[in-house]
Amino acid sequence: MTTETLSFTTEEFDYLRHGDTPLHMRLFRPAGAGPHPVVIDLHGGAWNKNDLTNCFPRDEVLASMGLAVAAIDFRHAADGYPTSLADINYAVRWLKARAGALGLDAARIGLCGQSSGGHLAMLSAMRPFDPRYGAIAPAPEVVADTAGSAAGGAGDESEVDAAMDASIRCVGMLWPVINPLSRYRHALRQRAAGAAWVTDMPESHDRYWRDEATMAEGNPVLALERGEAVATPPTLWVQGQPDIVHDYHDPDSGQDLNEPERFAHAYRAAGGEIEVLYVDKAAASSAAASFEPLGRFFLAHLAG
């Protein structure tokens, strides 16, 4: 089903299936001739709840600015880490393999995410060739189509490689949970102090991550501080203030930095380019404060 608006169209896909459960994608395509750069957008929800519909308000803004955007569902909650990363890695490869038919540019793909979705976007970008994340093989028809295209002269080896290449060009994050371990401990400390915002956050961590060792392994901050060899594409972090849920100090870090600046410091030290954009938290979910700067970032880094 395709729906037209003044500035973009939308189309629905089931990009992957686990047993009887399909994973959905809504693709927003801007008006005008392609191929368009495309951003894959990941919803938040403490790795436990919500779905692709939470991405739609910002995706409509990005599409109206000239970007294609693919909001996706992925496994979360009790399915546990790293199932989300496997689905996201597959979604990148799925779009690359079908880019020509969809009017997209396979060489100009970015990742975006909010809260826990921001964490997933960053971790996927840092580890595009991790065998655990790339464990879902491409559909047989994709391998056949890309191989046939290359052999017949209509494509080249890059089309075949796309079936297994989940690398992307840039990342945009909105108040990500960049350090699952420190946020877990932060929530427990705040619960002990009587903070109402904590609700069931520690239990959500437990359900998805299982234990602290896994929170430390699937952790962009600690991966950098461990000296792990990771990709460091250009990144924008949009952070509302004040925001005790995402912008806090980790007393175990040994640093006098809140988590956004701690990550930015480590990212730059690893050779990455990152901007942390602070906005008023009361307006953080608005187009002018967050979504339009995010769109300008993607347009700049996904330019032809």
The predicted pLDDT at position 135 comes to 96
Neighbour-count burial for 80-115, b at 16+ CB within 10 Å, e otherwise: ebbbbbbbbbbbbbbbbbbbbebbbbbebbbbbbbb
Q: Judge whether residue 98 has pLDDT over 50.
A: yes
Classify 120 as helix, strand or coil.
Answer: helix
Mean pLDDT of the chain: 92
Q: Which amino acid is at 161?
A: D
Instruction: Give the closest residue to 202 by CA, choosing from 173, 180, 178, 179.
Output: 180
Our CA dihedral for 11, 48, 218, 67, rounded to 10 degrees, sits at 20
Q: What is the pTM of this model?
A: 0.92
Show the domains of the chain with their CATH numbers: 2-301 (3.40.50.1820)
Give residue 142's pLDDT band: very low, low, confident or very high (50, 70, 90).
low
The predicted pLDDT at position 81 comes to 98
Cβ neighbours of 218 (radius 10 Å): 23
The tokens for 31 are: 């008006």
Segment holding 122, helix H or strand E: helix 116-126
> 154-176: per-residue pLDDT in tens?
344 344 455 679 999 999 999 99
The predicted pLDDT at position 32 comes to 87
> 282-298: per-residue pLDDT in tens?
999 999 999 999 999 99
